[in-house]
Chains A and B, each alone.
Chain A
């Protein structure tokens, strides 16, 4: 571990898709970011700003063209996704991505419990682990603790996303990555899953990066706010400034930094329902 290193350091990351073709897109353009322990960062930006690409580079879904990713001071830029997974819990927009439909609830949780550990020839599920799963699921208030042998494919999207969230957090990740994880849920379910997220993040003091599409939500939650635009981080506001900020201040900050008008209506007009 490097001395005084931030928990996560992103240094000069550039990510280009379809390089050398007419479709070439610079999704991330020399992005640098230090994430400190117990930061709860909300990330906002229009479609194509590079929010998801940033999380993908951090998680190692694909390598960047340039730059480094360091966690606790260790360079993980070249590690494949599965070998850095022990650091990251992640919940995607689509509940199907984070869970196995043909496996039962307890099998999904047992698989997630061993994130980044050696998987050997011990029984994946035993009574002790079942007890842990029940006590982890019970506070969600969804009754899933009594349905451990139900196939996850038979659950509703809200239940499934709650399982995905539990799977992402059950083995205490160094960093929790949330990618608009309630955007696909109906408002009531979204609220439930979001409250669960807040509860888990506060209780476990998890360092968190959360992408949202909504300015009001980005201001309301978390203790740090990042705004992305055309592959760059153009606004980075800490807790104290964030509390004083209204949406209009945020729009001004954006227009000043980007040098253009904010035209994404989804960001501007939608209310934070959460």
Chain B
């Protein structure tokens, strides 16, 4: 495979799995208007939970489902801290992120868990399809399958009566209460689903890379944010399906930029700075454009 093929293939796989994180961030930030920083912790939580279960001899699929459930629970706690105990959303997320660091260490019994000699969903899928389990093609197929399932479910769910309540809650809480829907319940449900997806992504990545590490989630929330903003800026999507696809596409483009940056000789340690600069650029460019055109600009948000 030539260099371009390798870059595109690798970015596709990463865009898909990190697209799940992007969709989680999209759900909290854009659908619920709830800036949730739990993500860094719940991503690792997903990786840690599934890795430990797989090492203990459970089926990798069980590991994935357990990761999802762990993420759902983490999200519930964050949202309860905010809605029932009245902590500001940002603080609730930060506290959860910090607290989950210790929880993840406890779950793994150390800083990392190796899956090198353990069966993963990639091995299972490779066996089913008769493809070698270490090929990029297989990684893409597995990730694509998971992402398609998640997108189909979310695209359906966000259009249901309940899902519409979640979207309305992020839009106008006063209206939602006035029309008889419990905004607290909606927030708890939404933040829970978002962190479930993020933990799912952590579980898939741990199995793909062959280990879970306590630091694997660092920067995930910013990465998800970068993907969402890149997707929105480039595709200017409309409607539920468009926004979901923009999140995935944004993640793909983000990973493409990162992969190319690595190819160009930047060290992995530089990537956090690249990510930060990407988010700054994606958020500031539309503003600067408007400024140049002397358009009216709303005041900066403070969340």
Contacts and interface: CB of A to CB of B under 8 A. Distances in A.
A103 B167 contact: yes
B182 interface: yes
Q: Which of B157, B178, B183 has the most CB of A within 10 A?
A: B178
Interface string B34-60: 000000000000000000000000000
A124 to B, nearest CB: 4
B9 interface: no
**Size range of the chain B interface in the assembly:** 20 to 34
A96 B172 CA distance: 9
Contact of A107 (B162, B164, B170, B177): B164
Interface in A67-103: 81-83, 85-86, 88, 90, 96-103
A122 interface: yes
A97 B175 contact: yes
B180 interface: yes
Nearest to A90: B178
Interface in B164-196: 164-165, 167-168, 170-172, 174-183
B180 A120 contact: no
Contact of A111 (B159, B168, B182): B168
Contacts of A90: 178
A119 B185 CA distance: 12
A107 B163 CA distance: 11
A123 interface: yes
Contacts of B295: none
Given A101-B171, A123-B159, A115 B180 contact: yes
A110 interface: yes
Contact of A124 (B159, B178, B179, B180): B159
Given A120-B160, A123-B159, A101 B177 contact: no
A17 B280 CA distance: 43
A101 B172 contact: yes
Contacts of A112: 179
B183 A103 contact: no
A267 interface: no
Contact of B179 (A85, A96, A125): A85
B161 A98 contact: no
B122 to A, nearest CB: 32
Contacts of A116: 179-180
B161 A119 contact: yes
A98 B164 contact: no
A227 B230 CA distance: 56
A239 to B, nearest CB: 30
A233 interface: no
Contacts of B159: 123-125
B164 A111 contact: yes
A28 B58 CA distance: 64
Given A86-B180, A116-B180, A100 B162 contact: no
Contacts of B181: 82, 85, 111, 119
Of A83, A85, A123, A124, most buried by chain B (CB within 10 Å of CB) is A124
A117 B177 CA distance: 12
Contacts of A117: 180
A211 interface: no
Interface in A126-175: 167
Contacts of A27: none
A88 B181 CA distance: 13
21 contacts: A81-B177, A81-B178, A82-B178, A83-B180, A85-B177, A85-B180, A97-B174, A100-B172, A101-B171, A102-B167, A110-B164, A111-B168, A111-B179, A112-B179, A114-B179, A116-B179, A119-B161, A119-B181, A120-B162, A123-B159, A124-B161
Q: Which 10 A-B pairs have the closest CB atoms?
A: A85-B180, A116-B180, A119-B161, A100-B171, A124-B164, A102-B171, A100-B172, A82-B177, A124-B161, A81-B177
Interface of A: 59, 81-83, 85-86, 88, 90, 96-103, 107, 110-112, 114-117, 119-125, 167
Given A59-B178, A103-B171, 5 more contacts: A82-B178, A96-B172, A98-B178, A102-B171, A112-B179
